[in-house]
Chains A and B, each alone.
Chain A
Amino acid sequence: MKIEKKELELYFHIPFCVKKCNYCDFLSAPCTREQQEAYMGALFAELEGRAAEYQDYTVVSVFIGGGTPSIIPEAGIAKLLRIVKEEYDLQENAEITIEVNPGTVDREKLQNYYQAGVNRLSIGLQSAENRELQTLGRIHTYEQFLDTYSLARELGFTNINVDVMSALPGQDLDSYRNTLYRVLNLQPMPEHISAYSLIVEEGTVFAKWEAEGKLDLPDEDSERHMYEETGRILETAGYHRYEISNYSLEGMECRHNCGYWTRKSYVGFGIGAASLVENIRFRNTDELKWYIENPLGCREELQVLSVEEQMEETMFLGLRMTAGVSCEAFQAYFGKSLKQVYGEVIDKNLETGLLRFKENEKGSYLQLTEKGLDVSNYVMSQFLFD
């Protein structure tokens, strides 16, 4: 009897960039060529070394993120994907994404990605205003983005995401709208748009500027306007919001990210990369040196999730998606109904209009309302147990 294999997602972290952006608090930094090579070597070793561990799984998506993965010579990326194909059971139509930054790729690089099996590009545009890009500390211009985008289309990429950001210093409603319209005017339109709102994180250059009073952030009203305009403009253009910050054309949702929200098993490779395998969470060390020396022996923060923690995650991750949490799936997985576990919280939020139940052909879903999406943290935090 053939046993249905379990699904698995793979994430690769490339912690390098040309120059750290002013708002970035991800694990990433400029580096030397030697460091890059040593790191890639360790990454290959980790990937190969773990193959046996995951032979019962089918890999359904691969995501190469960073940092700026596109600064790595394309041979490295090709080798990663070759190992995946050879040593892992990669599903035929798996989604394979790489993040690229304009200014770090040329025709040859993109072509090599394509040939290596990459079928989805995520391009970090952030803004179509060069002035704003400069404030962000981005290394590229809008024009460079246009080149990258059209090259990608020319080479046959049919699934492209574009990142944009609102609430940027010096940004106003008009300039933000302009960014959105320019993205929508791309030919053909991107299949996916991630629209984030800037959060000034501790330890970033922006945080320092903010403390010094040198960060000209939009006021609350304009920030809210931008946020509202995102939904209005993108939905008018035919996108649907399937997650708090993510919009896509029909059927073009990012499968890899949806996996995170639905708690699929995933394994992260590289420094700082987080994993969830069968309700066990862990992550690799943040230390570059330590990782390079022990790519297979640097997992930390291992945490076996209790049933309660699994329920909490199911809720605060699932509610990020506009479709919400499936009542049937919850019941099937936990053997208890949503209402049994969270009746009080749900009632309270139904009453305040932040949550609603929605029936569709697949069953009944608990989801955030428009108003609930705006204050999702407030709602989600209530789903944590005492």
Chain B
Amino acid sequence: MAVIDQSKIRNFCIVAHIDHGKSTLADRIIEKTGLLTSREMQAQVLDNMELERERGITIKAQSVRTVYRAQDGEEYIFNLIDTPGHVDFNYEVSRSLAACDGAILVVDAAQGIEAQTLANVYLALDHNLDVFPVINKIDLPSAEPQRVIEEIEDVIGIEAQEAPLISAKNGIGIEEVLEQIVTKIPAPTGNPDNPLQALIFDSLYDPYKGVIIFCRIMEGTVKKGTVIRMMATGAKEEVVEVGYFGAGQFIPCEELSAGMVGYITASIKNVKDTAVGDTVTDANRPCAEPLPGYKKVQSMVYCGMYPADGAKYPDLRDALEKLQLNDASLNYEPETSVALGFGFRCGFLGLLHLEIIQERLEREYNLDLVTTAPGVIYKVHKLNGEVIELTNPSNLPDPSEIDYMEEPIVSAEIMVTSEFIGSIMELCQERRGRYLGMEYIEGTRALLKYELPLNEIIYDFFDALKSRSRGYASFDYDIKGYEQSSLVKLDILINREEVDALSFIVHADSAYERGRKMCEKLKDEIPRHLFEIPIQAAVGGKIIARETVKAMRKDVLAKCYGGDITRKKKLLEKQKEGKKRMRQIGNVEIPQKAFMSVLKLDDRK
């Protein structure tokens, strides 16, 4: 195989706000560079997407290599690294960007710049990537390419007059994009003879090959037989195979050298050994130091997951084990709840990540789950100097032992049209937001900057934002750090028994309000029993709210169905079936969905 000329390689990614056409442009690039005919395009890429759709949202970085014959007559190798687009996966995104030399910024010709546009473009600029803009969807009737070009120049400060005006959907202007990839994105640098230094930007577990490492070779060369070492995790293995990414398949090759993007397999059993952001080096001839920017992925959101049917506990454990093989950011450890029995406390990057895992457990592993209210990690400083990282509210030490508590804070940027500024500011205020400032972007849109406690945005902040801005607000955040806060544990007592799975940590000022709403909600969720059931919310043993589920006085079919017994039996069966899905707490039966009800407390419009 001929040695690849480094100057003919372009490693790039596409950054965009959600729905601005990133994936469609990626598809067009693959198609136009002749990797696939349009018929194969249908057959292969779309099949792939169907699989993804089944699995919910793409959380893995994808990568593809294509060859483009440019107008200068030369052939260029394009490595397109597709990154996950959600704020939960910011760290993964940043590692993918670090593997690139440039980025295409896609902006919707009608909508212009959005919060994620900014967040992603700044992230790209932070990584010293050369960014060139593309205006997409120019065939929309509401397209205003000129306005968007000015907006890009004013707000982001990058040159945009030469931005290709395209419609990725209809294949307009794609050639210009391909040419600009050649002219505007720099070729990689790095010396193939230096000691190996490669960046892991993703990895996945394959049952046959073991872990497959996705990497960008910064310096040196790797080939079959090289003994590699992950510098952060210390894992060491001999390389079995190296290769690059075809469309939806792995294509083995001789070697990967500086500037190239590809994969390495080395019969590694666990993705945990190949942490995203880690540096791969040659164990026998290591590089002097790892690439910068590695950090251990930290779960931000925790919740309890329990099998609805207690007997399925081993199934849940097996399923989590399998998912973790492929998702190093998923954490779990066994826990027990008085109310829910045996289950796991699971840690996630964010709420979306939680939802994806939950959905995969339910759909791919056919498990029926009860999930407790998600919470963040609180730092509990005890009077004896000990600091506890609290992930399960039930483990909160006695208040008399606590000196103070801290909670995670995020810096948030919200882009919104001016008519909704008031209601969005009100929302941030309600969620204990600290106003940092506002920048106007042209006349009608503003970028609001807030600091918000993470636990105020993990439930339904995004939904509330959308509903209060008729879908127009966009939002992005970054973890800023921990701050001291006045937090309390809110307990729920049902028929005077504390239900551990319903406890949650809340700011002291919102405890009363949340307690009241929680009681109201539970009152609606818990069916009547033969006796009256008090539902109480308590903080530190003091009752702050109460509702009562009245005793059942009537449950009778006072109607004659004549001989139609089947109908009556169906009714009784439904009733019995309903009871089966309940959890017994003392002598009260609680429907499983009641445990999720804390998620839906904020029904204000």
A residues with a Cβ closer than 8 A to B are 11, 63, 65, 194-197, 199, 220, 223-224, 227, 244-246, 257, 260, 266, 268, 273-276, 281, 283, 301, 303, 312-313, 316-317, 352, 354, 373-378, 380-382, 384, 386
Contacts of A65 in B (CB 8 A): 562
Given contacts A220-B554, A317-B565, A375-B552, 12 further A-B contacts (CB under 8 A): A196-B558, A199-B557, A227-B558, A268-B563, A274-B564, A274-B565, A301-B566, A316-B568, A374-B554, A375-B553, A377-B575, A378-B575
Name the CB-closest residue of A to B579: A381
> Known: A281-B566, A352-B530, A381-B579. Contact between A245 and B553, CB under 8 A?
no
A313 partner, pick from B562, B564, B569, B579, beta carbons under 8 A: B569
Cα distance A276–B344 in the bound complex, in angstroms: 50
Q: Which of B529-567 contact A (CB under 8 A)?
A: 530, 552-560, 562-566
Cα distance A28–B557 when bound, in Å?
21
- Chain B residues whose C-beta falls within 8 Å of the C-beta of A303 in the assembled complex: 566
A377, B576: Cα distance in complex, Å:
10
Contacts of B579 in A (CB 8 A): 381
Q: Report whether A381 and B556 are in contact in the complex, using a CB–CB cutoff of 8 Å.
A: no
Contact B563 A275 (CB under 8 A): yes
Q: Which residues of B contact A268 (CB under 8 A)?
A: 563
Taking a contact as CB atoms under 8 Å apart, the answer to whether A378 and B573 are in contact is no
B253 at the interface (CB under 8 A from A): no
Contacts of A274 in B (CB 8 A): 562-566
A274 to B569, CA, bound (A): 14
Known: A274-B565, A317-B565, A381-B579. A375 touches B556 (CB 8 A): yes
The distance in angstroms between the C-alpha atoms of A386 and B576, with both chains bound, is 9
CA distance A32 to B469 in the complex (A): 57
Taking the nearest CB of chain B, how far is it from the CB of A279, in angstroms? 12
Partner of A260, one of B556, B563, B572: B563
Q: A381–B576 Cα gap in the complex (Å)?
A: 6
Q: Are A245 and B558 in contact, with the CB atoms below 8 A? A: yes
CB of A199 within 8 A of CB of B554, answer: no
Which residues of chain A are within 8 angstroms of B564 by Cβ–Cβ distance? 274, 283
Which A residue sits closest to B576, measured CB to CB?
A381
Question: Which residues of A have CB within 8 Å of B562?
Answer: 11, 63, 65, 257, 260, 274
Q: Cα distance A245–B568 when bound, in Å?
A: 15
Q: Is there an interface contact between A245 and B575, defined as CB atoms closer than 8 Å? A: no
What are 18 A-B interface contacts by the 8 Å CB criterion?
A: A11-B562, A196-B560, A197-B559, A199-B559, A223-B554, A276-B565, A281-B565, A283-B564, A301-B566, A352-B530, A374-B554, A374-B556, A375-B530, A376-B556, A377-B555, A377-B572, A378-B552, A381-B575
On chain A, the residues within 8 Å of B569 by CB distance are 312-313, 316, 384
The residues of B that contact A224 with a CB separation of less than 8 Å are 553-554
Q: What residues of B have a CB within 8 angstroms of the CB of A375 in the complex?
A: 530, 552-556
A-side contacts of B563, CB under 8 Å: 11, 260, 266, 268, 273-276
Identity of the chain B residue whose Cβ is nearest the Cβ of A385 in the assembled complex: B576
Count of chain B residues near A, Cβ 8 A: 24
A350 to chain B, nearest CB (A): 13
Give the top 4 A-B pairs by smallest Cβ distance, nearest first. A197-B558, A375-B555, A381-B575, A274-B563
Among B530, B552, B563, B566, which residue has the most Cβ atoms of chain A within 10 A?
B563
Chain A CB within 8 A of B43 CB: no
Rounded to whole Å, the gap between the CB of B247 and the closest CB of chain A is 51
Q: Within B207-258, which residues are at the interface with A (CB < 8 Å)?
A: none
In the bound complex, how far is the Cα of B559 from the Cα of A194, in angstroms?
Answer: 9
- Contact between B559 and A245 (Cβ–Cβ < 8 Å)? yes
Contacts of B573 in A (CB 8 A): 381, 384
Given A260-B565, A377-B572, decide whether A196 and B559 contact each other with a Cβ distance below 8 A. yes
B571 close to chain A: CB less than 8 A: yes
Residue numbers in B under 8 Å from A317 (CB-CB)? 565
B576 interface neighbour in A246, A376, A382, Cβ under 8 Å: A382
Q: CB-CB contacts of B314-351 with A at 8 A, as 1s and 0s?
A: 00000000000000000000000000000000000000
Most B Cβ at <10 Å: residue of A227, A244, A375: A375
**Complex CA distance for A257 and B560, rounded to whole angstroms:** 9
Could you say which residues of chain B place their CB within 8 Å of the CB of A380?
A: 572
A244 & B572 in contact (Cβ 8 Å cutoff): no
Q: Which residues of A contact B530 (CB under 8 A)?
A: 352, 354, 375, 378
Q: Which residues of B contact A196 (CB under 8 A)?
A: 558-560
Contacts of A197 in B (CB 8 A): 556, 558-559
Q: For residue B556, which residues in chain A have a CB less than 8 angstroms away from its CB?
A: 197, 244, 373-377
> A268–B562 Cα gap in the complex (Å)?
10
Q: Nearest Cβ in chain A — how far from B575, in angstroms?
A: 4
A27 to chain B, nearest CB (A): 10
Task: State A245–B559 Cα separation when bound (angstroms).
Answer: 7
Contacts of A312 in B (CB 8 A): 569
Measured between beta carbons, the chain A residues less than 8 angstroms from B571 are 377
- Give the docked Cα–Cα distance between A11 and B579 (Å): 35
Closest residue on chain B to residue A166 by CB atoms: B558
In the bound complex, what is the Cα–Cα distance between A375 and B553 (angstroms)? 7
Interchain CA distance A63-B560 in the complex, whole Å: 14
A245 contacts which chain B residues (CB < 8 A)?
558-560
In the complex formed, the residue of B with least CB distance to A305 is B565
CA distance A377 to B554 in the complex (A): 9
Chain A nearest CB: distance from B548 CB in Å? 14
B308 to chain A, nearest CB (A): 16
**Complex-state Cα separation, A283 to B567, whole angstroms:** 12
Alpha-carbon distance between A266 and B564 when the two chains are bound, in angstroms: 11
Across the interface, which residues of B come within 8 angstroms of A273, CB to CB? 563
Contacts A352-B530, A375-B552, A377-B555; is A316 near B560 (CB within 8 Å)?
Answer: no
Minimal beta-carbon separation of A206 from chain B (angstroms): 13
Shortest A2–chain B CB gap in Å is 30
In the assembled complex, how far is the CB of residue A289 from the closest CB belonging to chain B, in whole angstroms?
Answer: 21
Which chain A residues border B554 with CB–CB below 8 Å? 220, 223-224, 227, 374-375
Pick from A195, A313, A374, A377: contact of B553, CB below 8 A.
A374
Contact with A along B398-423 (1 / 0, CB 8 A): 00000000000000000000000000
**Measured between C-beta atoms, what is the minimum distance from B191 to chain A in Å?**
71
Whole-angstrom distance between the Cβ of A384 and the nearest chain B Cβ: 5
Collect the chain A residues with CB atoms within 8 Å of residue B568's CB: 316
On chain B, the residues within 8 Å of A199 by CB distance are 557-559
Q: Which residue of A lies closest to B553 (CB)?
A: A224
**Complex: chain A residue closest to B580, CB-CB:** A386
Q: Compute how far the CA of A375 lies from the CA of B556 in the bound complex, rounded to whole angstroms.
A: 5
Q: How far is the CB of B262 from chain A (nearest CB, A)?
A: 56
Q: How far, in angstroms, from A1 to B573 measured CA to CA in the complex?
A: 45
CA distance A220 to B552 in the complex (A): 11
The 0/1 profile, CB within 8 Å of A marked 1, for residues 264-302 of chain B is 000000000000000000000000000000000000000
Residues in B whose Cβ lies below 8 Å from that of A260: 562-563, 565
Alpha-carbon separation in the docked complex, A360 to B242 (Å): 88
A376:B560 contact, CB within 8 angstroms: no
Tell me whether A384 and B558 are in contact (CB under 8 A). Answer: no
- In Å, the complex CA distance between A260 and B565 comes to 8
Task: Check B565 against A376 for contact (C-beta < 8 Å).
Answer: no
- Complex: A256 Cα to B572 Cα, angstroms: 23
Interface contact B576-A244, CB-CB below 8 Å: no
What's the minimum C-beta distance from B240 to chain A, rounded to whole angstroms? 52
Smallest CB-CB separation from A263: which chain B residue? B565
- Alpha-carbon gap, A350 to B560, bound state (A): 26
Enumerate chain B residues within 8 angstroms of A374, measured Cβ to Cβ: 553-556
Query: What's the least CB distance linking A222 to chain B, in Å?
Result: 12
Chain B residues within an 8 Å CB radius of A281: 565-566
Min CB distance A11 to B, Å, is 6
Task: Write the chain A residue with the least CB distance to B557.
Answer: A377
In the assembled complex, the CB of A73 is this many whole angstroms from the nearest CB of chain B, namely 24
B36-59 interface with A by 8 A CB criterion: none
B residues less than 8 Å from A301 (CB atoms): 566
**Contacting pair B560 A194 (CB below 8 A):** yes
Q: Is the CB of A316 within 8 A of B559?
A: no
| CB of A300, distance to nearest CB on chain B (Å) | 11
- Please measure, in the bound complex, the distance between the C-alpha atom of A276 and the C-alpha atom of B566, giving whole angstroms: 11
A316 engages B572 (CB within 8 Å): yes
